[in-house]
Homo-oligomer: A and B are copies of this chain.
């Protein structure tokens, strides 16, 4: 949570602003880190807080609990949330459901989100912990809903820099190859295409962390996935399917109102802290009187998440008196090598229509590119 005011403020107002909901409840904080969310839950009146931390930060979290006088309420447990055992009996907790005596948790709090929501996130662990420990009909998740967005953006300086660095790297290769042949008598050209592919993947076909100004967003954002944190599944954490209707986008950028070119597509997310909306819980779970939202979009200023930008190979220019349309879709899948990393496949085509008579003036061929989120 260090030095990210938007993040701190959102979690703080979500917990302290809804202290009535936390009063006398059993809370679990998944991935507590230095333990600040667990302290807030205790300060908000929770009866018992389990703060789960896999790393040795657990030792620090225990110190923080003592320094804040909440060590009797917060129990820091070091381990994988999938494997821990809660001291339910010692803590005098009971579950209404005799078939699931471990379901004693009223509220899950967690700061589990990664870049573009899913990258290196703890979502899988959170889902497993929820299904194991949460009271199904009355439990709450903080955040309760998360939403992924995309929008076309203008960010030519960075786009051009990436292209130039790729070109410089290939020019260095050419130098190396010629020196190696002429001075040292060894032919290396056979390796050029592999080297070229590596450099392209690194400089051109990887998204970039950016803190974009609000003005760089050229149209309305498009929601591409919503996770209801109460009902989402391990399947949901695998990414965004090309088949999903939600994964499709259609943007219209008015050349009279916006200054182009369109440099690429930016992705970010929001996290909501609000009442349950799912069938099982929408009537039976407690209501939040003070819902709040954390946005990592360009309109919100700095968060450590920033935005991930997928740059086009060439910027798409805007024209006065014309509207430029981008239609396409974004698919997000785990990489084969590492389940915590993701690739994004972006398909898109652009067209331009006259603002006067709506006539189509240009239509590009469809393009498709796979980007790594590094």
**Contact residues of A with B, CB < 8 Å?**
2-3, 5, 8, 12, 34, 36, 39-40, 43, 60, 63-64, 66-68, 172, 175-176, 179-180, 183-191, 194
Contacts and interface: CB of A to CB of B under 8 A. Distances in A.
A40 B187 CA distance: 11
Give the copy number: 2
Contacts of A8: 179-180, 183-184
Contacts of A176: 2-3
Contacts of A64: 186-188, 190-191
A177 to B, nearest CB: 10
Given A63-B191, A64-B190, A64-B191, A184 B12 contact: yes
Given A5-B179, A43-B185, A60-B190, 20 more contacts: A3-B175, A8-B179, A8-B183, A12-B184, A34-B188, A34-B191, A36-B180, A39-B186, A40-B184, A40-B185, A64-B186, A64-B187, A64-B188, A64-B190, A64-B191, A66-B190, A67-B187, A67-B188, A68-B186, A68-B187
A40 B3 contact: no
Q: Pick the 7 closest A-B CB pairs, nearest first.
A: A67-B190, A63-B190, A67-B187, A39-B186, A68-B187, A3-B176, A12-B184
Nearest to A60: B191
Contacts of A34: 188, 191
16 contacts: A3-B172, A3-B175, A3-B176, A5-B179, A8-B183, A8-B184, A12-B184, A34-B191, A40-B186, A43-B185, A60-B190, A63-B190, A64-B187, A67-B187, A67-B189, A68-B187
